[in-house]
Amino acid sequence: MTEAQIKIKRTESILQELIPQALAHMNDKRLHNLNILEVKCARGKSDAKVYIDPAQYSDQEKRDYLKLLRKARPIVETHCLKDQGWYRCPKFTFEFDEHLKQAQNIDDLFKKIAKDKEED
C-alpha cells in the first residue's frame, strides 16, 4: 500500500467516525439513528461516497432520508472541517448500500446450486 493510499484510508476512517457525530447533533431526530457502513474517498479526496445501511427502510423512506441528507450535507461538511481543522472537506454523496443485499442474493443462488448438485 502506497503512502497516498494510506492517507486516503486514514481520511475515510476519520470521516466514518465524524459523520455519525455530525448527524447526531442535527435537530432532526430521524438522522440520529442512521448507520454509516462505509465511506469511500475519491483519489484526490475531493469527493466521498457515504454508504448507509438500508436494512429496515422502505423505498419511500430511503428517498426521504436521501433528501434530508442532501439538505444536511453542508452542515456535516462544516462539522468535519471544524473538528479536524482541515482546509477542505470532501463533498459528500449519500447512498444506501445495496451491495449487501446483492451479496446475500448471490450466496442464496450458490446454496441453491449446491443443493441441486447434491440431489443429482
pLDDT tens per residue, range 57-79: 888 999 999 999 999 999 999 99
Report whether pLDDT(101) > 80. no
DSSP states along 59-82: HHHHHHHHHHHHHHHHHHHHHHHH
How confident is the model over 15-54, as pLDDT tens digits? 999 999 999 999 988 888 888 989 999 887 889 999 998 8
The sheet with strand 36-41 has its strands ordered as 36-41, 47-52, 91-96
Give the Cα separation of 14 and 52 in Å (integer): 16
Q: Is the predicted pLDDT of residue 103 greater than 90, yes or no?
A: no
pLDDT over 70 (residue 120): no
